[in-house]
Amino acid sequence: MPLWLLITRRIAVMVISLFFVALLTFLIVNVLPGDVATAILGDTATPDQVAALRGSLGLDQPVLLRFMKWFFDLLQGDFGTSLTFNRPVGPMIAGRLLNSATLALICMIVVIPVSILFGAIAAVKQGSLLDRAITGLTTFLFGMPEYVLALGAMLIFAIWLQWLPGAAMINPGESLFLHLDTLVLPVLVISLGGATYIIQMTRASMIDVLASPYVRTALLKGIPRWQVILKHALPNAMLPTLVEIGLSFGALLGGLVIIETIFNFAGIGQLMVMAVQSRDVPVLQACVLVIAAAYSLGSLLADIASMLLNPKLRN
């Protein structure tokens, strides 16, 4: 099958998936007890006050009707209006998305070379004390919830040692790059969490490749070991790792919810948490859709890269 057709089919599947993600999110939020009217007016409002606000926000319309209206507005590029803040959702999430994407990108820039380096070293030194230390540490960090890492890092570096700012607070309109010191702790925590899987993946893949006949042949031919590792083994071992990296970028955006909440970082994850708490459906829909799209896009790019590198997968 031609590559373009495969890609077109994947994009079509992605669009359909996103539609169902949006529909499911809408239905789930509507099944949850309470809505934005009760969230706005609180428990001290009388039932008729809540009913009046519900009517003025259009929440008395049938769920599917509201979804279809939201969907057709979306097709015209309109994410709707926040029910809580009465502001257009598009600009609300744009700045947040930029912040989160920048944070995720910085993390990837840190994670990729470090993970590949440590994974390769562990594989080359397989069975050594260094390999065991790297494997043990990555297994430990892999099992450690991100919020524990985040709180631990904040406690040590921001409260006890006071080396770094504890909260990653960025004022609206300000560039992230003006506050790089505030990003150190979030990047450290995300990178520690994200690197573990890639290190283990690289290590396993490298061990397989290093045991392959062509590597042995190259070594027997007298090619220096470092040259065999860097020029022959590592590029081949990278194929599954690169696919994993593509997938992890999308997952990283979704996984920022916890980190952004703990570090008070004005990203899309923090906005999503707020939208859930206040039952602000249009904001929540937009956040979920953007994160799902990023995940799907990462997956698509990983698939395309795999197909380009391995023609067998095209069939």
Give the binding site for other proteins (CB under 8 A).
32-35, 38-49, 52-53, 55-56, 82, 84-87, 92, 95, 151, 154-155, 158-159, 162, 164-167, 169, 171-173, 182, 261-264, 266, 270-271, 273-274, 277-279
> Which CB atom, from 87 or from 231, has the smaller least distance to other proteins?
87
Q: Is 196 left (phi over 0), alpha (psi -120 to 50) or beta?
A: alpha
Q: How far is the CB of 238 from other proteins (least distance, A)?
A: 38
Q: How far is the CB of 147 from other proteins (least distance, A)?
A: 9
Between CA 198 and CA 204 the distance in angstroms is 10
Q: How far is the CB of 144 from other proteins (least distance, A)?
A: 16
> Which CB atom, from 233 or from 262, has the smaller least distance to other proteins?
262
Between CA 114 and CA 313 the distance in angstroms is 29
Q: How far is the CB of 128 from other proteins (least distance, A)?
A: 38
Residues in the chain: 315
Q: Which amino acid is residue 80, in one-letter code?
A: G
Rounded to 10 degrees, what is the CA torsion of 127, 131, 137, 141? -100
Q: Angle between the 146-153 and 180-210 helix axes, to the nearest 10 degrees?
A: 130
For 268-300, what is the HEC assignment? HHHHHHHHHHCCCHHHHHHHHHHHHHHHHHHHH
Between CA 72 and CA 14 the distance in angstroms is 18
> Which CB atom, from 263 or from 295, has the smaller least distance to other proteins?
263
Between CA 150 and CA 154 the distance in angstroms is 6
With tokens 């790089």, the residue in question is 180
Q: How far is the CB of 280 from other proteins (least distance, A)?
A: 9
Indicate the SS3 state at residue 32. Answer: coil
> Which CB atom, from 22 or from 283, has the smaller least distance to other proteins?
283
> Which CB atom, from 38 or from 241, has the smaller least distance to other proteins?
38
Q: How far is the CB of 188 from other proteins (least distance, A)?
A: 14
> Which CB atom, from 111 or from 153, has the smaller least distance to other proteins?
153
